[in-house]
Structure 1
Amino acid sequence: METKFDFSGENLFKPIAFREDFNQFARLSETQAWSLFFTASREDSALGFSRAAGRFWTGLLVATVVEAILGVTIFQVF
Structure 2
Amino acid sequence: MNNDLDFKSPELFGSVVFRPNFNSFKTINASQAWSLFFTGGREDKKLDSNPRIGLLFTSVLLGLSLSGFASALIIQTIFPA
Once the two structures are TM-superposed, the CA of residue 77 in structure 1 deviates from its matched residue by 1.1
Once the two structures are TM-superposed, the CA of residue 6 in structure 1 deviates from its matched residue by 4.4
Once the two structures are TM-superposed, the CA of residue 8 in structure 1 deviates from its matched residue by 3.6
Per the normalisation by structure 2, the TM-score is 0.85
Distance 1:74 1:26 in 2: 43
Return the index of the structure with the highest Cα Rg: 2
2:28 pairs with 1:67: no
Unaligned ranges ≥5, structure 1: none
Taking only the aligned residue pairs, the percentage that are identical comes to 35
Q: Which amino acid aligns with 2:61?
A: L
Deviations 1:38-78 (A, max 9, x none): 00000000011111100000000100110011010001111
RMSD of equivalent CA atoms: 1.8
Once the two structures are TM-superposed, the CA of residue 7 in structure 1 deviates from its matched residue by 3.4
Superposed counterparts of 1:44-55, under 5 Å? 44-55=44-55
Runs of 4+ in 1 over 2 A off after TM superposition: 1-8
The equivalent of 1:27 in structure 2 is 27
Aligned residues: 78
Distance 2:59 2:18 in 1: 28
The equivalent of 2:14 in structure 1 is 14
Unaligned ranges ≥5, structure 2: none
Q: Which amino acid aligns with 2:54?
A: G
The equivalent of 2:41 in structure 1 is 41
More helix by share: 2
Distance 2:5 2:50 in 1: 23
Once the two structures are TM-superposed, the CA of residue 9 in structure 1 deviates from its matched residue by 1.7
